[in-house]
Amino acid sequence: MTTRSVLLVIGGGVAAYKALELARELRRRGIGVTGVLTRGGAEFITPLSVGSLTGAKCYTELFDLTDEAAMGHIELSRSAGLVLIAPATANILAKAATGLADDLASTLLLATDKRVLYAPAMNVRMWEHPAVKRNVETLQADGALFVGPEKGEMACGEFGYGRLAEPAAIADAAEDALRGEGGALSGRHVVVTAGPTHEPLDPVRYVANRSSGKQGYAIARACRQLGARVTLVAGPTALPDPRGIETVHVETARQMLAASEAALPADAFVACAAVADYRPAYETEHKVKKERGGLTAIDLTENPDVLASIARHASRRPALVIGFAAETDDVLGHAEAKRARKGCDWIVANDVSPGTGTMGGDRNAVTLITGEGDEAWEDLPKSEVSRRLAERIAGALGPAPG
């Protein structure tokens, strides 16, 4: 295993089934996973299901002659870049906080020299119990990381904090933990725009597009994982704010430009948002009724150009300005022309034709255009596109001064 890998310890509880989805999500992001299934966890899922989704042997027993001879629990505890416990039950938290080691999972937690991330899941009354609070405080003081739990309805029917965080949120936290300190973008500030803009027609209706914001959010996370301070300027999306990232929410193109300028100075600016080129020239104070003529015609006026404005900023232009070109035909030709027209350094071109599934989907096939040549990347998860782009940004900027 490598440093970009996780030892996934699966505790007992109904939430154990979500660990399978978590394993799939981690692997989708290019993170290797090895599973450790506790006896409680095995009451809900099987070693075979864990091994099938991780692509690696699932470990279950401390006193297993074959496993100890082949790898050993000490080596296993240090084989990955991160130990992740999901779900982390009250029992596991208590063992870890008190140094108890009576099974494979608890022994690994004592033997590891890697960072440990807990994703708790339990009944709300258990989570609020003073003993559990003490154990969490002890583990945090020892340097452990936590993600969740979230608030919601429990399997037992009660409501409150205790639900396992969603797999995507846990995977985000795992990536943050794997990044650690001293990343290639440490000391750098990166501003990323994401999502659509909504241009109001009246208090109810607006002009918009199909952007989900997934690619921009993934780029923000990837830059953060390399150590950058990231400001995310986000149009209206259904995505949660990424952990450890300053997120500024806007609705219109004018608000996005103002927020982007306010975030300067920055070392890099990544304009991933799908900004509306035009907005209604007039916004009515009341909802337009079709009985009174309705919206049979809309006068439009041009929006400010966020990418061009930052690329041509008189005093605080970032060293690296990157735009996105979402096209449906002659993708590379339009993207090359856009790079020259906007005055940016790089353009990331992608085909958003119907049928590609790019807008709103989880994958993207892009070409990075830098002026020194075109670099086509195969169809990849948006998280992998983001990781590659963040690494290219780090390479172009180099180490931060000082």
Give the pLDDT of residue 293. Answer: 58
Binding residue per annotation — 9? no
User: Same domain, yes or no, for 158 and 220?
Assistant: no
Q: Is 184 within a domain?
A: no
Model pLDDT for residues 305-344, shown as the tens digit of each residue: 999 999 999 999 999 999 999 888 898 999 999 999 999 9
Q: What is the mean pLDDT of residues 147-161?
A: 79
When divided into structural domains, the chain yields a total of 2
User: Same domain, yes or no, for 166 and 200?
Assistant: no
383 lies in which domain range? Answer: 189-397
Higher pLDDT among residues 344 and 151, named by residue: 344
Give the pLDDT of residue 332. Answer: 92
Binding residue per annotation — 277? yes
Binding residue per annotation — 151? no
pLDDT at 204 over 80: yes
Q: What is the mean pLDDT of residues 54-67?
A: 74
Higher pLDDT among residues 144 and 198, named by residue: 198
Taking CA atoms, 22 is separated from 48, 174, 181, 240, in Å, by 16, 11, 24, 17
| 54-58, 176-180, 311-315: which is most confident | 311-315
Domain stops at, among 179, 200, 232: 179
Give the pLDDT of residue 97. Answer: 92
For residue 88, give the nearest of 138, 27, 21, 41 by alpha carbon: 41
Give the pLDDT of residue 341. Answer: 95
- Percentage of the chain beyond pLDDT 90 is 44
Higher pLDDT among residues 322 and 28, named by residue: 322
pLDDT at 67 over 80: no
User: Same domain, yes or no, for 150 and 16?
Assistant: yes
How does DSSP classify residue 59? B
Q: What is the mean pLDDT of residues 276-282?
A: 91
Model pLDDT for residues 95-112, shown as the tens digit of each residue: 999 999 888 889 999 888
For residue 224, give the nearest of 260, 264, 189 by alpha carbon: 189
Q: How far apart are CA 26 and CA 7, in angstroms?
A: 11
Give the pLDDT of residue 351. Answer: 87
Q: pLDDT band at 124, cuts 50/70/90?
A: confident
Q: Which amino acid is at 167?
A: P
Q: How far apart are CA 165 and CA 89, in angstroms?
A: 13
Binding residue per annotation — 338? yes
Q: pLDDT band at 173, cuts 50/70/90?
A: confident
Domain stops at, among 128, 160, 179: 179
User: Same domain, yes or no, for 169 and 87?
Assistant: yes
Give the pLDDT of residue 331. Answer: 87
Give the pLDDT of residue 235. Answer: 97
Give the pLDDT of residue 61. Answer: 78
Binding residue per annotation — 306? yes
Binding residue per annotation — 159? no
Give the pLDDT of residue 72. Answer: 63
Residue 144 sits in a domain whose CATH number is: 3.40.50.1950
Contact 303, 199 (CB under 8 A): yes
Give the pLDDT of residue 120. Answer: 93
User: Same domain, yes or no, for 226 and 166?
Assistant: no
Higher pLDDT among residues 78 and 201, named by residue: 201
For the question of whether the overall pTM of this predicted structure is more than 0.75, the answer is no
Q: Is 116 within a domain?
A: yes
Binding residue per annotation — 114? no
156 has catalytic annotation: yes
For residue 191, give the nearest of 153, 223, 166 by alpha carbon: 223
Q: How far apart are CA 119 and CA 146, in angstroms?
A: 6
Binding residue per annotation — 397? no
- Percentage of the chain beyond pLDDT 70 is 93
Model pLDDT for residues 239-260, shown as the tens digit of each residue: 988 877 899 999 999 999 999 9
Give the pLDDT of residue 229. Answer: 92
Higher pLDDT among residues 356 and 117, named by residue: 117
Binding residue per annotation — 348? no
Name the catalytic one among 156, 223, 272, 344: 156
Domain stops at, among 143, 159, 179: 179
Q: pLDDT band at 294, cuts 50/70/90?
A: low
User: Same domain, yes or no, for 159 and 232?
Assistant: no
Q: Is 402 within a domain?
A: no
pLDDT at 375 over 90: yes
pLDDT at 49 over 70: yes
Q: Is 315 within a domain?
A: yes
For residue 109, give the nearest of 90, 97, 118, 96 by alpha carbon: 96
